[in-house]
Chain A
Amino acid sequence: MCLAIPGKVQKLDEANSSPRMAEVNFDGVVKQVCTDFIPDLKIGEYVMVHVGYALNRVDEKEALNQLKAISEAEEIIRKNMK
């Protein structure tokens, strides 16, 4: 039920539209999504979408940091094994 899927905002209604809808691309599948919970959303950003609403942005920097930290942990483990 709490499933949310990341998608890229490719088109966005004017800022004063209500509800403010966006075209969100989920790896080729495009859906209309309501963006009222993220008033300062911009085209090109990624959002987590749940029941047709964008719940929050996906922070690309945090995602990259997380993946980098995991890879670095592997390097440390390897060095310790040598």
Chain B
Amino acid sequence: MKFLDEFRDAEKVKILVDQIHSLDPPPINIMEVCGSQTHTILRYNLEELLPKNINLIHGPGCPVCVTPIEIIDKAIYLSQNEDVIFTSYGDMLRIPGSQSSLLEAKASGTDIRIIYSPLDAIRLAQENPHNKVIFLAIGFETTAPANSSAIIIAQQSLLNNFFVLCSHVLIPPAVEALLSSELIKLNGLLAPGHVCTVTGTSWCEDISDKYKIPISVTGFEPVDILEGILITAKQIISDEHHTSNQYKRVVTRNGNITAQKIINKVFGICDRNWRGLGEIKNSGLKLRDEFSNLDAEKVFELNSIKHHEDERCIAGEILQGLKKPFDCKIFGNECTPTNPVGAPMVASEGACAAYYNYQAI
């Protein structure tokens, strides 16, 4: 496939690996922020190709993993209303809530539909005027424009049976929270290419300056990841700290301004609880008041729902890069992709699922 195969080419991977080895780097920690990058690293076993001194730390960039458990519980509660068609991206269905997952709720008879695009939820609302269609809007800046666009379409077409349960999160405040915590020493970052496709790269430049850390805005194929590591390691060795754009074929400095405007029209900034990480200030998006007639949290009574986390799961430490999945006592035994205890074992880009699927135990 054009623009994919060339960036999985074994010859080019070898050239980049040789270049990284020729740097003979000191011990360094580089965090790939995005879970899709973690997935590529594990799938292609890139860590094995790198010098032993380069330690890749897997970051919190999996929106499915960090969606708070109370949102899953609220989603299940809403899906149990008889006239509700609950819609969600497929990634969310097996994420454990306090009692069950959306998939288990679906098996028990609730009407939960997997959608590919938010426009599918709009179509369902148009085709089922006697049902309430509720859309679980999650994701980072990558997904926020599409969800915003669908919300605008719903309001403009005067759909009165379309509602949104919103749990959007933002990457820059989470990266800043990690860098400020000083729990882990990071020498460089691979920033998430598709978030930056929307946002542009200026927030990375600000973080590079503020925290004196090199950042490479990086794509998702093996050639991209290795080139991002090469660029970052070179900067670390020469004691530089600026932002480079490895993913220029897709990411521009200003990002997609049309998409940014649509996000700002629909959403305002709020504090948001990240599963495993706790509340991060200004790290979420909430529907603006003009869209409160679509806001499921305002239209339906949801405040009385209690939730509790399984205490055996160390997802919070894994998402902060403090521990690897192998450090978890229940990894691969009590917690597996078919019987997950924590969210990172379920999500396609969750670190635990990637380790389970691609690494020898």
Report which A residues bind B (CB closer than 8 A).
1-6, 8, 19, 26-27, 34, 36-39, 46, 48, 50-53, 55-60, 62-63, 65-67, 70-71, 73-74, 77
Contacts and interface: CB of A to CB of B under 8 A. Distances in A.
Contacts of B143: 1-2, 50-51
A38 B8 CA distance: 27
A36 B198 contact: no
Given A67-B6, A77-B19, A55 B198 contact: yes
Interface in B245-283: 248-252, 256, 258-259, 262
B192 interface: yes
Contacts of B138: 1
A73 B140 CA distance: 35
Contact of B250 (A1, A36, A48): A48
A74 B22 CA distance: 12
A52 B116 contact: yes
B250 A59 contact: yes
Contacts of A50: 142-143, 146, 194
Nearest to A33: B117
Contact of B149 (A3, A34, A46, A73): A34
Contact of B63 (A1, A8, A48, A70): A1
A79 to B, nearest CB: 14
B62 interface: yes
9 nearest A-B pairs in the assembled complex, by CB-CB distance: A52-B117, A6-B3, A63-B249, A53-B146, A62-B249, A2-B142, A27-B1, A62-B248, A37-B259
Interface residues of B, number: 55
B248 A59 contact: yes
B140 A2 contact: yes
A5 B39 CA distance: 15
Given A1-B91, A77-B22, 20 more contacts: A1-B36, A2-B35, A2-B63, A2-B143, A3-B194, A6-B3, A34-B149, A50-B146, A51-B118, A53-B149, A58-B3, A60-B249, A67-B12, A70-B16, A70-B223, A71-B12, A73-B19, A74-B11, A74-B15, A77-B15
B109 to A, nearest CB: 27
B197 interface: yes
Contacts of A37: 145, 149, 256, 258-259, 262
Nearest to B260: A37
Interface in B210-254: 220, 223, 227, 248-252
Contacts of B262: 36-37
B137 to A, nearest CB: 11
Contacts of A57: 250
27 contacts: A1-B36, A1-B64, A1-B143, A1-B349, A2-B35, A2-B61, A2-B192, A2-B195, A36-B262, A37-B149, A38-B256, A48-B194, A48-B250, A51-B116, A51-B117, A51-B143, A51-B146, A52-B118, A53-B149, A56-B250, A56-B252, A57-B250, A60-B249, A62-B248, A66-B249, A67-B12, A73-B19
